[in-house]
Each structure stands twice: as C-alpha cells, then as structure tokens.
Amino acid sequence: MAAIYDFTVKDRKGNEVNLGEYAGKVLLVVNTATGCGFTPHYEPLEAMYKDLRDKEFEILDFPCNQFAGQAPGTEDEIHEFCTLKFGTEFPQFAKIDVNGENADPLFAWLATEKPFEGFGKGIKNFSLDKFADMNNKKFGDKAYIKWNFTKFLIGRDGQVIARFEPTVDMEEVRKAVENIL
C-alpha cells in the first residue's frame, strides 16, 4: 500500500524533497492560490500551524494556477505574498498542476485515496460546483481536485484520513487535526 512518504516533490527553490522526511507526523496537504476567494484560509491555517506544530504537525502548501488563473506569480512572489500578508511559516513547495496530464503524482494519489464527494449544500456551494465543473472539463477523467484550498489530512502512518473541500469550515478542519494529534 502506498503512503505519502513514497513521493518526492520540489520545494519552492526547485530542490527535490522526499516526503519521507515527514514520517511520523500528522500532515495537512493543501493546494493553494493567492488570488482566490478562499485565500483567507491562510490565516486559520497559519494559526493552526503555530498552535500545533510542536505536536509533530505540518502543513504542506502547494500553490496551483489551474483554477481560473488564481496563482499567477512565481514561487518567490507567491511566498512573499503569503509571508507578508498572512505571516505563513509552514513549508511552501513549488507551484504544481493538480489536474490533467501533468498533474503531480502526489495529488493524483491523494485524490484517488479520497475522491471528491461534493462541496456541500447551499447556493454558494452549488455555484462553485457549476463553476468548477466548467473549469475542470478540460482535464476529463484527470480532474482530481475541484478547486483551490482542497485539504488532505494525513495520519502519522502516511495514509490519507480525510479530504476537506474549500467550502468546509476551517474550524471543522482544525478539530479533525486535533483529534488525530
């Protein structure tokens, strides 16, 4: 059975990082964007990181520009935005694709382990669902992630425990993380 530790990714400087470096930790893996309506999620993510990182918790941030071009900058520009506006200190990796033929294998695996089950109820969620479907048609059966700020909770054994769409309240995400810790 595969585990997150079987994957290698690139940090924001282009260096390879074996995710085995995070073995034994609880992880929250997030695809992000700096110009998205969900960009304010950086604030509760950073608060959670500051409060829980001493308990062997890490947030792994993967910027992605595949959703309406909402992460157009370079890795350095994105990092500067996040650190200046939100004070982020958690690891930020190279910008990646999470869908399509060039989808990073990590995100293809994550989404296969915990497939999309919907954005939830309500008019805003229904609207996002329709917009995401239009955006993701070009990826066909490789539309693994539906929108920015999809989060995957990984247990200490490297297995995917839960998937949180961007519409899930951040308090619910935090409670799930705390329950695992």
Domains recognised in the chain with CATH numbers: 4-180 (3.40.30.10)
H-helix or E-strand spanning residue 61: strand 57-63
Q: Under DSSP, is residue 10 helix (H, G, I), strand (E, B) or coil?
A: strand
45/63 Cα distance (integer angstroms): 14
Q: Under DSSP, is residue 164 helix (H, G, I), strand (E, B) or coil?
A: strand
Could you tell me the pTM of the whole model? Answer: 0.94
Residue 122 region, left (φ>0) first, then alpha (ψ -120 to 50), else beta? left
pLDDT of residue 57: 98
Residue numbers annotated as active site: 36
Q: Consecutive 10-residue runs of the chain (181 residues): their mean pLDDT?
A: 93 96 98 91 97 98 92 91 94 95 96 88 74 76 88 98 96 98 96
